[in-house]
Structure 1
């Protein structure tokens, strides 16, 4: 595999590859995230009053059924990105573009991937079965009005997650271990565990977690091949546009979607769609590689 570009990202991490620094950095990133969330709550309480601020934050972090709640949740991932940058700077003396790769290269990778996947998903929308029952979630006019806020929100959310898993975690592990099973596998396992939700997905939870692990491996491979986070962010962003903005599962984070499925994440009706998603993520990975010629 052509992973020589990965050294662009890993080289700055080799100066301080200690595992204790990585562990402490992850804790620090989480602490900064929590501190910024509570600071924003305090500012909201000053502006709106305690009761109103509590209602808003409770809705954002427990239900996220409305468009406003979903937007706030997605934008709150910016606090996580800040936490990662702070941790990497203080514990590994790394700068933001050291985690993402050169800005213009990362941007070019992102743009090429999102354009290619847009064409792919449009084609799959024509070819794949259309008899899945869905409900209109918001009017088309409302959806278009929300889109200028929703797309940047998704970019914030997906970028923050990629900074954590394919940025900070993958790169620091690669600086310490040469084995790909470690620096690709550990973030993929953690990403899968983070998406394992039996309380909402029931028996389907294990399949969704496996899909998340496969997605993580595809994103890790693209990052190692290109030497930037641009392709991984593009893959994540394109996937979430479909899953959050076009057709989502009813429930949490469904406030921005044009449609929702007529069944829940725990329904047996989900299983054929999950099987299709496994095939689609593999096809998406191949499309990214062709688009980037890596």
Structure 2
């Protein structure tokens, strides 16, 4: 008999076509990891070739030097290009529509994403402002030096162009692919949520225990929103705003974009502010999702015709 698509939560969407086999998530994960390596090498090679054509200086290891803005841009680009491999892994390895990585409706719901961005903007901006007022946890008192208008505009342009793609790509990898890969085997969403949150924290490097805890909390809350709202939009909105505002501010400070510090290096006070913001964002988004009846499960064969235009 023909396959009848069931109604599924987000983390179980790998089963939507009925073609799941135990090995497909493993094959898809290998494809994503292999593609990430190829992309990183390609971006590095492109930077070296372009640097040679432009006669950029060479460091002690023989690599072309692009400066803080250029090297940060290359790092962001290598992450921004990871979304297509995730979509291809869903389509090729798991034999399902690539759009099911975006949401239970099989596409990215732009209207819902816009609402999440509107909710998150004042919260993220407010938390960042409070963090700027906190004392340096290391006890230092480093003065912030204006980067200068040309460097600021160049850095801000780079951030505005690349950060939305970089942040959304991380969501497609962690809250999207990894959650659904584990969800293909396990019915409980928490079995899928916890590993990706820990891997997300590890991917940002080890700074302080507080920073690691903050990144883990971000991964858990972003996953909760993804499953409860049936898509990546809420997590993407939060991640994009967080990185865009933080790196946009860094573009105004001399040398800040070249810094190797990440969220993993946060102190206890900053983590407290950030977690309060994350909880506030999650509360408002979940309330809006209920009010606007945002679909949290796929429509299935019986209810597909009833799915709303923005759900």
Q: TM-score range by the shorter chain?
A: 0.7 to 0.9
Q: Deviations for 1:262-284, whole angstroms, at most 9, x for unmatched residues?
A: xx9769xx332222222222222
CA distance, structure 1, for counterparts of residue 159 and residue 8 of structure 2 = 31
CA distance, structure 2, for counterparts of residue 123 and residue 282 of structure 1 = 14
Report which of the two has the higher share of helix: 1
Which secondary structure does the structure 2 equivalent of 1:177 belong to? coil
Which runs of 5 or more residues in structure 1 are unaligned? none
CA distance, structure 2, for counterparts of residue 179 and residue 213 of structure 1 = 19
Give yes or no for the alignment of 1:158 onto 2:156. Answer: no
Deviation larger for 80-89 or 49-58: 49-58
Instruction: Tell me what 1:174 maps to.
Output: 183
TM-score computed with the length of structure 1 as normaliser: 0.76
Instruction: Tell me what 2:238 maps to.
Output: 235
User: CA offset at residue 21 of structure 1?
Assistant: 2.5
Q: Deviations for 1:93-131, whole angstroms, at most 9, x for unmatched residues?
A: 233312112477522222111111112234456667735
Any conservation in 2 of the 1:154–1:237 contact (CA below 8 Å)?
yes
User: CA offset at residue 233 of structure 1?
Assistant: 0.5
CA distance, structure 1, for counterparts of residue 236 and residue 156 of structure 2 = 19
Instruction: Tell me what 1:289 maps to.
Output: 286
Any conservation in 1 of the 2:87–2:98 contact (CA below 8 Å)?
yes
CA distance, structure 2, for counterparts of residue 24 and residue 85 of structure 1 = 13
Equivalent residues in 2 for 1:17-166, closer than 5 Å:
17-49=20-52, 66-101=68-103, 102=105, 106-124=109-127, 130=133, 132=135, 135-136=144-145, 138-139=147-148, 142-166=151-175
Equivalent residues in 2 for 1:255-274, closer than 5 Å:
255=257, 270-274=267-271
TM-score computed with the length of structure 2 as normaliser: 0.72
User: CA offset at residue 167 of structure 1?
Assistant: 0.9
Give yes or no for the alignment of 1:207 onto 2:210. Answer: yes
Q: 1:226 aligns with which of 216, 226, 229?
A: 229
User: CA offset at residue 13 of structure 1?
Assistant: 3.6
Any conservation in 2 of the 1:16–1:92 contact (CA below 8 Å)?
yes
Any conservation in 1 of the 2:100–2:107 contact (CA below 8 Å)?
no
CA distance, structure 2, for counterparts of residue 121 and residue 266 of structure 1 = 18
Number of residue pairs matched by the alignment: 274
Any conservation in 2 of the 1:66–1:256 contact (CA below 8 Å)?
yes
Which secondary structure does the structure 2 equivalent of 1:218 belong to? helix
Any conservation in 1 of the 2:225–2:235 contact (CA below 8 Å)?
yes
Q: Deviations for 1:16-40, whole angstroms, at most 9, x for unmatched residues?
A: 5445332332222121222233334
Instruction: Tell me what 2:307 maps to.
Output: none
